[in-house]
């Protein structure tokens, strides 16, 4: 299985469009970091990539948040959106589009899409009775509720009873078509556990869902009946489509879908799986549009083993975390320490230990001491040998030779932790190798060729590690590349380091002018709490 349609040279992916009822939390940061790593990896493969993120601004939840601050909803949204943009900048996220659902051009796309579904006869009026969770912006089944009519996701929030005239979308009509689609596209929902969850939900029988609200102003009116407002989820999912428009495009579906549709990947958290894996494909089928390639539902983050939440007062502030430790540190911890797809924990002691062990010691010290040895043992601070001089049975060369392909496969299935582990195994082997080979002794014995062989082998392994980790830790990777004499900055859009070339062991050459050794990651001393 590969992530991409091989004939397609483009790759479009999305994060969820985040609610702006509050500033971004660590959960939003988590998905966005993962999305950025995927985007960077796809760019290394030479694909043209479009990374879409943005904000979901309509609905009751946002309207109430605005009211509680005495602000108009638009003014309130405008005041929160910059906090997302600045966090993405802090985290070194290179998004291509920021889609805001309150944008005028989005309104045009929603109207056109609604008209298609309406004309297809999939919208009708009916009576909606049920329990509504404003925080989820979703009706809940009575059996899902916790004691005291509380939402199972927002456990401190009571659901609200609704009994109103709504417009409904004929989801039930798509039962068979969806089931057939899931069967013929086994990779559509990932990981496997989420796929099973969706299959089981759908097999219980799909019910039509309401796509309008009354007594709510903040949203787009139903074009055929403006007393009703379009349900926030119906509007928000289409934000992915609006994002595909080029800035100069007329906002039409035709323009939006011309280049990037169907999308390659929607990255989401497990709580919004149903919307993306059931409602969204059904809406698209109704509008006669092809479906995206893949929806990946990641797990939830906990803090010190406990569910994170404002009421528990144990949320992790992503801004504070990045300001204290830097973007590479945060990106590395979340991608390496948590299996993408499973729940994972944030624990500050573990955070510090992992970063010190992997980045400061294993990778950072290795580069630093090896460069210093080149300085000491080699004329003109340069290696005189090259890949051809390294025997095929050299243990690092053997490891390095097929590493690129393995890491590629891991990134393709979004197994970031595996990708990092694979690279780290080469780094650890390099540390062991240099200790065993003891170039300081070889030097004393006058065995210059062997000294240089060891140093080349280790530096080349560090280079390969830096390249393969660049989607995760682009700053550190750039610093390593520069110290090894490559004028490549992994953050620059114009610097191209093609995968076929740079993922191969043996690229380092004696022509390389090595840079001054600099620490790439400063050891963290355990002090302050975030």
Stretch that binds ligand MSP, among 22-30, 217-225, 331-339, 428-436 (CB under 6 A): 22-30
Positive or negative, the CA dihedral 412, 413, 415, 421 is negative
Is residue 118 a contact residue for ligand MSP (CB under 6 A)?
no
The two three-digit tokens of residue 410, written as one number: 């891991």
Burial 50-80 (b: 16+ CB within 10 A, else e): bbbbbbbbbbbbbbebbeeeeeebeebbeeb
77 in a labelled binding site: no
Is residue 236 a contact residue for ligand MSP (CB under 6 A)?
yes
Torsion of CA 161, 166, 170, 172, to 10 degrees: 20
Task: Please report where in the chains the tokens 């289409």 appear, as a residue.
Answer: 238
Is residue 91 a contact residue for ligand MSP (CB under 6 A)?
no
Of the two residues 31 and 60, which places its CB atom closer to ligand MSP in the complex? Answer: 31
Of the two residues 81 and 514, which places its CB atom closer to ligand MSP in the complex? Answer: 81
Is residue 31 a contact residue for ligand MSP (CB under 6 A)?
yes
Is residue 316 a contact residue for ligand MSP (CB under 6 A)?
no
Q: Which of 17, 178, 295, 330 binds ligand MSP (CB under 6 A)?
A: 17
Whose CB is nearest to ligand MSP? 269
- Cis omega before residue 262 (within 30°)? yes
Q: Which of residues 260-279 bind ligand MSP (CB under 6 A)?
A: 268-269, 271-272
Q: Which of 11, 18, 231, 340 binds ligand MSP (CB under 6 A)?
A: 18
Torsion-angle region of 459 (φ positive above 0: left; ψ -120 to 50: alpha; else: beta): alpha
The nearest distance, CB 64 to ligand MSP, in angstroms, is 14
154 in a labelled binding site: yes
Stretch that binds ligand MSP, among 40-48, 233-241, 405-413, 521-529 (CB under 6 A): 233-241
Site string for ligand MSP, 237-256 (x = CB under 6 A): x-x-----------------
Q: Are 140 and 178 in contact (CB under 8 A)?
A: no
Q: Are 300 and 269 in contact (CB under 8 A)?
A: yes
Cα radius of gyration rounded to whole Å, the chain: 26
- Cis omega before residue 344 (within 30°)? no
CA atoms within a 13 Å half-sphere pointing along the CA-CB vector of 88: 24
Q: Which of 19, 88, 218, 467 binds ligand MSP (CB under 6 A)?
A: 19
Is residue 130 a contact residue for ligand MSP (CB under 6 A)?
no
Tell me the sheet residues that pair with 525.
Answer: none
Is residue 56 a contact residue for ligand MSP (CB under 6 A)?
yes
| Footprint of ligand MSP (CB under 6 A) | 16-19, 27-28, 30-31, 56, 236-237, 239, 268-269, 271-272, 300-301, 308
């Amino acid at each position: 299985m590969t992530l991409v349609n091989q004939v397609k040279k483009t790759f479009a992916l999305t994060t969820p469009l985040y609610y702006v009822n509050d500033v971004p939390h660590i959960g939003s940061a988590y998905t966005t970091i993962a999305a950025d790593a995927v985007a960077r990896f796809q760019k290394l493969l030479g694909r043209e990539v479009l990374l879409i993120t943005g904000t979901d601004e309509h609905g009751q939840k946002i309207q109430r948040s605005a009211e509680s601050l005495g602000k108009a909803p638009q003014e309130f949204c405008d005041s929160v959106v910059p906090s997302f943009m600045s966090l993405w900048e802090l985290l070194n996220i290179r998004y291509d589009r920021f889609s805001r659902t309150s944008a005028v051009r989005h309104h045009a796309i929603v109207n056109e899409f609604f008209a298609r579904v309406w004309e297809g006869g999939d919208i009708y009026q009916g009576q909606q009775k049920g329990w509504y969770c404003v925080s989820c912006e979703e009706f809940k089944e009575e059996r899902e509720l916790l004691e005291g009519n509380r939402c199972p996701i927002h456990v401190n929030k009571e659901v609200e009873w609704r009994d109103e005239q709504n417009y409904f979308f004929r989801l039930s009509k798509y039962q068979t078509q969806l089931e057939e689609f899931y069967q013929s596209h086994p990779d559509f929902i990932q990981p496997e556990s989420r796929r099973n969850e969706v299959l089981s939900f759908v097999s219980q029988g799909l019910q039509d869902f309401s796509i309008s609200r009354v007594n709510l102003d903040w949203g787009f009116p139903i074009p055929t009946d403006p007393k009703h407002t379009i349900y926030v989820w119906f509007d928000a999912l289409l934000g992915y489509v609006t994002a595909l428009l080029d800035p100069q495009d007329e906002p039409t579906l035709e323009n939006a879908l011309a280049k990037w549709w169907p999308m390659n990947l929607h990255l989401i958290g497990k709580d919004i799986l149903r919307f993306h894996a059931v409602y969204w494909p059904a809406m698209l089928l109704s509008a006669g549009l092809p479906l995206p390639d893949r929806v990946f539902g990641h797990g939830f983050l906990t803090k010190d083993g406990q569910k994170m939440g404002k009421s528990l007062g144990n949320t992790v502030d992503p801004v504070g975390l990045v300001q204290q430790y830097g973007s590479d540190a945060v990106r590395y911890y979340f991608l390496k320490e948590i299996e993408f797809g499973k729940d994972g924990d944030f624990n500050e002691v573990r955070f510090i230990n992992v970063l010190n062990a992997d980045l400061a010691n294993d990778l950072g010290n290795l580069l630093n001491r090896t460069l210093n040895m080149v300085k000491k043992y080699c004329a003109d601070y340069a290696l005189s040998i090259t890949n051809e001089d390294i025997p095929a049975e050299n243990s690092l060369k053997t490891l390095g030779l097929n590493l690129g392909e393995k890491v590629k496969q891991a990134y393709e299935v979004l197994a970031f932790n595996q990708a990092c582990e694979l690279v780290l195994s080469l780094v650890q082997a390099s540390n062991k190798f240099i200790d065993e080979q003891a170039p300081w002794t070889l030097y004393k014995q006058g065995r210059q060729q062997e000294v240089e062989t060891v140093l080349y082998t280790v530096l080349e392994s560090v280079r390969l590690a830096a390249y393969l980790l660049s989607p995760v830790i682009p700053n550190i990777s750039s610093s390593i590349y520069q110290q090894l004499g490559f004028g490549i900055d992994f953050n620059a859009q114009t610097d191209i380091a093609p995968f076929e070339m740079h993922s191969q062991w043996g690229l380092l050459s004696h022509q390389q002018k090595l840079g001054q050794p600099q620490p790439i990651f400063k050891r963290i001393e355990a002090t302050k709490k975030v």
